[in-house]
Amino acid sequence: MSGSGDVHYHDYLQLDKILNAQFPESDKLNASAHDEMLFIIIHQAYELWFKQLHHEADSLVAIMRQPSLNDNSPELQTVVHRLNRMVVILRVLVHQIDILETMTPMDFLDFRDMLRPASGFQSWQFKLLEAKLGLKFEYRHGKEYYTAQLRQEHVDLIKQAETNQSFLQLVNDWLERMPFFDDAEAWKELSPSKTNDIHPFWVAYTNSYSNSLAEAEKNNLEAFHEVMFEHKETHYTLSAKANRAALFIMLYRGYPLLQLPFQLLNNLLEIDEQLSTWRHRHMNMVHRMIGTRIGTGGSSGKDYLKSAADKHYIFKEIAQLTSFLIERRRLPQLPKAIEQKLGFAAPSNSPEGGRTHSTRPA
């Protein structure tokens, strides 16, 4: 083996540091609190998984930041693969609560007061991950004090992440580069011209969507126009153009070229779902453990966690697009030239029979 010598499992994993990194407060006071060891190890495991989530998120940002991204390439496959890994890790974080809930409220009370003012509210890695993915400062619950208990170096990291381009913003840029609507000639068979500067596909789709709504859902049409075309509000991260691209991907995901883009979007929704599940499980566990008492960090306990769980959805703009889906049988028939591009079909004049693909230039 090349390098500095043989690698030993114990040394490679730095087990001396890891296995000797648990210092229960109850031991320092000669108090009996058997479950404090479990409490420490569970939270250390959380922070290690947060570190891995940062490792994945940083790599995704680096890939998506490129000026062009081939939608039929190993790079997009890598993005989807790592997003899926993040989803699986988040599921593990949810299931770790099962282990923590083997501790009873009386077991927790054996050492709870010794922890003040330490609190999960001080997990800077979690707040930093939210910022990197795209949770805006103005959408945070309790934004006036969400960094109040953090050390300044950790506050600086979070504030810097909030000013950097988030993963959600990079997804917006990627969606905006969808090339399929740029070929005016290909769309002529659907409609000979634009209507009020709206692409012929969206003229046809708007009509189909309107006809699909029940009488009680007619207000959805106004929301559809706002999200897909008008954008009168200022709170959006995704542009109207990006929303149209994302909805098109959801509608026609059966075409080979849209499979990876659809999986990317679906993984974002899954990340939000797992984060929400984790927050609600955490909230219910806290209520079970301490009832209506305040948290060790001074928060309102369950009430704070419930408000954060209800508000902290990072990819909610993508989730809202499901309101604008219609049945497959109502979908506008795509022009043959577009179907060829989406299906990797070889052009009729191509002697090689090679597959076409889409590269989205900046």
Which amino acid would we find at residue 302?
Answer: K
Assigned token pair, 81: 């693969």
Please classify residue 271 by burial: count the beta carbons closer than 10 Å to its beta carbon, then call 0-12 exposed, 13-18 middle and 19+ buried: buried
Spatial contact of 134 and 168, defined as CB atoms under 8 Å apart: yes
Annotated binding site for heme: 282
Yes or no: say if 351 and 265 are a contact pair by the CB < 8 Å rule.
no
d(CA 81, CA 162) in angstroms, rounded, equals 25
Binding site for substrate, by residue number, is 39-43, 112, 296
Residue among 34, 335, 359, 342 at smallest CA distance from 192? 335
Known binding residues: 39-43, 112, 282, 296
Dig out the tokens for 28 from the structure: 């320092």
Using CA atoms, how far apart are residues 223 and 236, in angstroms rounded to an integer? 13
Q: Could you tell me which residues come within 8 angstroms of residue 145 by beta carbon, excluding any fewer than 6 positions away?
A: none
φ, ψ of residue 8 in degrees (nearest 5): -105, 140
Q: List the beta strands (DSSP E) in 107-241.
A: none
Name the nearest CA neighbour of 63 among 50, 76, 72: 76
Residue 109: how many other CB atoms lie within 10 Å: 12
Distance CA 297, CA 120 (A): 8
72-91 in b/e burial notation, b at 16+ Cβ within 10 A?
beeebeebbebbbebbebbe
